[in-house]
Amino acid sequence: MAGTPGAEGVEGPAPSRRRLLRLAGTGIGLAALGAGAWGCGPVEDPASSPTPPPGKGATPGAGGDAFTTPPRGTAPGPLWQEPAASGALGALDALAVAGDVVLVSGDPLVGRNVVTGKVVWSREGVAVPGAKLLVSGGTLYLASAEYDGDVVGLDPATGRETWRSRLGKRFSQPRTIAADERHVYVLAGILEKDFSTPNNVIAAIDTSSGKVVWQERRDAGTEEYGITAAVVGRHLVYTDYRENVTVRDTATGRQLWTKKVGRSNSGRFAVHADLVVVADGQRLRAFALADGRERWSLASEEFTRFHDPAVLDGVLYAADSSHVLRAVDPAKGATLWRNDDLLKVAYPWQFTKVGGTLYAATELDDKGGVLAFDARDGKHRWTYNDGTGSLEKWYVTSAGKRLVALHGRRLTALPAV
């Protein structure tokens, strides 16, 4: 909701760190089997109640994964909790699920069984810091940690290397940004004779041969980092720190169009059918993939800004810095519902959906965590917080009837109930 901070000139207690962070966000101031009972805690202040021990999260139904739904306001306890490697944080895609293995970016790179939390495999020196976990076609693609200009492919089930691009000395430090059945798309510096990299390219690597299919030099001065990308049919879409939205043809690399947008830097964007939807400060904006024409725009309240949108099951979800969560028709930009009652809860930045429940991970806030909403009307059902008091960002993804959440150096599995 568009909350109003305390009136200027009125004396009162000093604002908490959490409140200061929230004001800064508004621009005004700056998944695992288990048995037992639910862990209870008030939705308003989930961190105030002790976290139930691992394995006491929910009672599975007869189907094994059919967990019983707790009453509104009651968060499930964790099914298991395990440590996460240092260095897991910072990457936009630091958490991924492939089959029944959950992966967390870091060194060592670890694959855990999503049901038990036990380590399936662990490898040191295979992931560069902040590595994007890009899984496509049953392969995890990573820039080589040997810094030899290659891209490697690992089997997510075993951690074994199954593919290598062998680009040799053509590029400097390629970074994977997207993949489809035919190509892995990378950004890389062009290595000059003096070993400098004043220019960079975007390139497509054949997933069968490991050879470069095409490469296109990007404009001088463009950033090599801060890129978020997705493949939609024949369109490769990406945003960058310099606040551009760009679309290229996946077959040839030809740039179809690019647009300057005010606040779209390296955050997530959403795609739906023939549209790409970006958060541009106070507005959500939808552009046609084919030609870049703006199809619709949706504004938030004054002095607020939208955060990363997501399209799940044909509905677009986005929160803004005034802690309003919206469900939107991605084709038309019409609001389906909005939840204005989240001022006591940190705003969501990442979403996943299981059945009729929408789950979200929050940004920097000690009272944040994993939030659950009724996807039909947006009503807030519960908040899970691990009670650590850490301000670090949360990440969440789903695996069948389970959720997996990353917070600081802790990985937690919850029943999706």
**Model confidence over 247-293: pLDDT tens digits?**
999 999 999 999 988 765 557 899 999 999 999 989 999 999 999 99
How far is it, in rounded angstroms, from Cα 146 to Cα 245? 31
Collapsing DSSP to helix, strand or coil, 89 comes out as coil
DSSP 64: S
Query: Binning pLDDT at 50, 70 and 90, where does residue 127 land?
Result: confident
DSSP 8-state assignment for residue 123: E
Positive or negative: CA dihedral 365, 368, 369, 375: negative
User: Which residue shows structure tokens 């659950």?
Assistant: 372
Q: What's the predicted TM-score (pTM) here?
A: 0.83
Averaged pLDDT, 347-364: 92
* Cα–Cα distance for residue pair 189/194, rounded to 1 Å: 13
Residue 47 is given by DSSP the state G
Q: What is the residue whose two structure tokens read 């035919």?
A: 182
Between CA 332 and CA 286 the distance in angstroms is 9
Q: What percent of the chain has pLDDT over 90?
A: 55
- Summarize the chain as % helix, strand, coil (round to 5): 5, 40, 55
Burial tier of 415 (Cβ tally within 10 Å: 0-12, 13-18, 19+): buried
The larger pLDDT score, comparing residue 396 to residue 189, is at: 396
Residue closest to 255 by CA, chosen among 214, 226, 198, 316? 214
Give the closest residue to 112 by CA, choosing from 152, 141, 84, 78: 84
Six-digit token string for 237: 């879409």
Which residue type sits at 184? V
